[in-house]
Chain A
Amino acid sequence: MTPKFIGLFNYTAALILVLFGIYALITQKNLIRKIIGMVILQTGTILFYISLAAKHGAAIPILIDQGHHAVIDPQHYANPLPHALMLTAIVVGVSTLGVALSLIASIFKHYGTLEEDEILIKMESSK
């Protein structure tokens, strides 16, 4: 029982991060905090994948030149595929963050505030 829970700890943490991110998106009124929530959400997903790649006693999946006749046992290296995928996912996350921040900059320039309820009120009154 206990080993299984510890083994699944990463995944639970990942899901908690995802849920926390959603919670932040829903409840926080400040737009920057919503963005932080979104980033946490993405981080949770990334943690999930990375946890898939881990193995007991595994080394980093980078091959140092060992000569031609050395046998490479995949069991000793962590799974590189999720790492590669998550690099891409992090890049996607950063781009999304960039787009979000530029949108917020433009909104701030026009409305002077970053609280969502105030912005909505100003939007309605200006029509």
Chain B
Amino acid sequence: MHPSIPFFLAPIVLAIAGPRLRRVLQIAVPLAAFFLLRATAPLGAGRSEIILSFMGYGFIPIRMDALALLFAYTFIIFGLLANIYGLHATDRRTPVASNIYIGSSIGAVLAGDLVTLFIFWEIMALSSALLIWNKDRAASVGAMFRYLLVHLTGGLFFFSGILIKLIAKEAMTFEALGWSTASQLIFIGFAVNAAIPPLHAWLSDAYPEGTPTGSLYLSCFTTKVAVYAFARGFAGSEILIWLGAFAAVYGVIFALMENDTRRLLAYHIICQVGYMLCGIGIGSAIGVNAGTGHAIGNILFKGLLFMATGAIIEATGKSKLSELGGLASRMPLVFSFYMVGTLAISGAPLLNGYITKGLLLKSAAEAHMGWLELLLLLVAVGTFLSIGCKLAYFAFFGKPCDVKIKPVPANSHVAMAATSILCFSIGIFPNTFIPLLPFPQHGGFYDAAHVIHNLQLLLGTYLGFLFIRQYLHTEDTLTLDTDWFYRRASELFIKGICFPIHFTQLLVQQAWTLSIALLHTHISEKFLPQRMTPLSYPLLWMTTAFAIAGFTLLILKFS
């Protein structure tokens, strides 16, 4: 029994159910899926596969091994937490779309062959697109269509790769994919979902637009399924290390400059995905463990951060840092949960980020990539700066904003609390989590050197922030004060590579919207037939076409 089935059946009832039944279902469905999954394969068991034959092709809808199960369980657990967070929402669309989304994500990680993966991939794209539409934000419609277009195009690349493999009669099971033309096309398809720059624009464009409850689902599934796909198919590819490093730096730079809270977090997702891809690219057992562990950790603490910022947006109605401030005293619970999330993402001890970041740095060290270690440390600095210092300071401290605060619903607090507890428990008792990772892993984490190292990093960053906080603008513009980047190399990197990519994306987007508008107003009115034209036009068309074609053929065939 596929654990996604409750998630796919629920929307049928949710579409017509009343609010009370909706809330019951939102809690019951993930629990049902959890027990279904547990019944089919307890965590830690060996491999198992189920094959279905249809149209002469063997689909493998359920393939369970440690990697897949880890993601599947985490998706279900986070689905439950997100559902609890959003119990107070009244619109019907979000529960329907989110359930299909979660169900298809679970289906994707459990898929054993490429075609099943593709089917669930596309269902994910369609259902997540629905979550972007927010009737309070007019820009969300455009963002949704751009999201769909990008994802469908990425799906096309994926599909072409599958087609080529099908025709060459290669094996279609989803294992390590090698590096042929087909697998390169599949790589591009995965890269779109993982939001590797320059294919990342959809993430920063679409994630800030949805409703607070809707965006929460968005933040955690698509990119993590892509990470899983990379871990399964392309583990050890060196290009992933470079792409991951680039993504990490790119994401954190733009996160530092961003003013909208959720767009900041969205850029930061790109950064964290870069982290995960570095680990997977390294390819050793510890590297894949690190990447996977960090993915799981991200689901939890990124989700917590989105929950907290979502609570702020729902309470104040504002999402821009320039319009917020002084909320720590007025929303203390949200503030504390936010800080838990921040510390987790920055790798503070006692939280799960510390474990996974430690694994990652260790894997980089063991692969003798000192530069990577350094880079990841720098990005960690940027992470704490953007999320821990900038967002926290300008939202919770600083000049108080004078908006009326609606009370945060109790279920949101419960969800945030539960997520925080999970983060702490993995951090404090790492040995409950480590055995779940795909490869066996030993070694302690809480030796004195590492703890002090991490605390140093955090403290140093915080002190640095205190000095430079006036340079981290919170205006509604995208500026960068280059004074505090004291290395010209990084300045060149930013101006030479990151900015052009960013602005090209913006340009392409604007050009697309503009050309469609132009097409409708100018060209279609003047040149293209919207009304009846005189008879001579089609007749001339016809006779010239026939004369040219006919005579060409005649001459070709009879001379």
B539 and A25 contacting across the interface, CB-CB below 8 Å? yes
Q: Complex formed: what's the CA distance from A22 to B544 in Å?
A: 12
Chain A positions 2 through 37: 1 when the CB is less than 8 Å from some CB of chain B, otherwise 0: 000000000000000000001001110000001000
A26 and B532 contacting across the interface, CB-CB below 8 Å? no
B543 and A120 contacting across the interface, CB-CB below 8 Å? no
B531 and A26 contacting across the interface, CB-CB below 8 Å? no
Chain A residue at minimum C-beta to C-beta distance from B538: A26
Q: Complex formed: what's the CA distance from A2 to B422 in Å?
A: 103
B536 and A27 contacting across the interface, CB-CB below 8 Å? yes
Chain B positions 374 through 407: 1 when the CB is less than 8 Å from some CB of chain A, otherwise 0: 0000000000000000000000000000000000
Residues in A with CB closer than 8 Å to B523 are: none
Residues in A with CB closer than 8 Å to B543 are: 22, 26
Residues in A with CB closer than 8 Å to B533 are: 120
Residues in A with CB closer than 8 Å to B508 are: none
CB distance from B70 to the nearest CB of A (A): 64
Residues in A with CB closer than 8 Å to B531 are: 123-124
A116 and B535 contacting across the interface, CB-CB below 8 Å? yes
B534 and A34 contacting across the interface, CB-CB below 8 Å? no
Q: Complex formed: what's the CA distance from A111 to B540 in Å?
A: 26
B536 and A120 contacting across the interface, CB-CB below 8 Å? no
A120 and B540 contacting across the interface, CB-CB below 8 Å? no
B534 and A25 contacting across the interface, CB-CB below 8 Å? no
Q: Complex formed: what's the CA distance from A26 to B544 in Å?
A: 12
Q: How many residues of A contact B (CB 8 A)?
A: 10
A120 and B539 contacting across the interface, CB-CB below 8 Å? no
B535 and A34 contacting across the interface, CB-CB below 8 Å? yes
CB distance from A23 to the nearest CB of B (A): 9
Indicate the member of A25, A26, A124 with the most B CB atoms within 10 Å.
A26
Residues in B with CB closer than 8 Å to A25 are: 535-536, 539
Residues in B with CB closer than 8 Å to A124 are: 531
Chain A residue at minimum C-beta to C-beta distance from B533: A120
Residues in A with CB closer than 8 Å to B540 are: 26
Q: Complex formed: what's the CA distance from A23 to B4 in Å?
A: 67
Q: Complex formed: what's the CA distance from A123 to B535 in Å?
A: 14
A117 and B534 contacting across the interface, CB-CB below 8 Å? yes
Residues in B with CB closer than 8 Å to A27 are: 536
CB distance from B554 to the nearest CB of A (A): 14
Q: Complex formed: what's the CA distance from A123 to B202 in Å?
A: 46
Q: Complex formed: what's the CA distance from A123 to B447 in Å?
A: 87
Chain A residue at minimum C-beta to C-beta distance from B536: A26
Q: Complex formed: what's the CA distance from A120 to B536 in Å?
A: 13
Chain B positions 517 through 559: 1 when the CB is less than 8 Å from some CB of chain A, otherwise 0: 0000000000000011111100110010000000000000000
Chain B residue at minimum C-beta to C-beta distance from A127: B531
Residues in B with CB closer than 8 Å to A120 are: 532-534
Q: Complex formed: what's the CA distance from A27 to B537 in Å?
A: 10
- Find B532's partner among A22, A34, A123 (CB 8 Å cutoff): A123
Chain A residue at minimum C-beta to C-beta distance from B540: A26
CB distance from B205 to the nearest CB of A (A): 39
Q: Complex formed: what's the CA distance from A123 to B533 in Å?
A: 11
Q: Complex formed: what's the CA distance from A48 to B455 in Å?
A: 99
A22 and B539 contacting across the interface, CB-CB below 8 Å? yes
Residues in B with CB closer than 8 Å to A22 are: 539, 543
Q: Complex formed: what's the CA distance from A112 to B531 in Å?
A: 21
Residues in A with CB closer than 8 Å to B534 are: 116-117, 120
- The A-contacting residues of B in range 194-240, CB under 8 angstroms, are none
CB distance from B53 to the nearest CB of A (A): 56
Q: Complex formed: what's the CA distance from A106 to B532 in Å?
A: 18
CB distance from A124 to the nearest CB of B (A): 6
Q: Complex formed: what's the CA distance from A26 to B539 in Å?
A: 6
CB distance from B543 to the nearest CB of A (A): 6
CB distance from A21 to the nearest CB of B (A): 11
Residues in B with CB closer than 8 Å to A116 are: 534-535
Q: List 21 A-B contacts (CB under 8 A).
A: A22-B539, A22-B543, A25-B535, A25-B536, A25-B539, A26-B535, A26-B536, A26-B539, A26-B540, A26-B543, A27-B536, A34-B535, A116-B534, A116-B535, A117-B534, A120-B532, A120-B533, A120-B534, A123-B531, A123-B532, A124-B531
Other CB < 8 Å A-B pairs besides A22-B539, A117-B534, A120-B532, 17 of them? A22-B543, A25-B535, A25-B536, A25-B539, A26-B535, A26-B539, A26-B540, A26-B543, A27-B536, A34-B535, A116-B534, A116-B535, A120-B533, A120-B534, A123-B531, A123-B532, A124-B531
Report the 10 A-B pairs with minimum CB-CB distance, sorted nearest first.
A26-B536, A26-B539, A116-B534, A25-B539, A26-B540, A124-B531, A22-B543, A120-B532, A120-B534, A116-B535
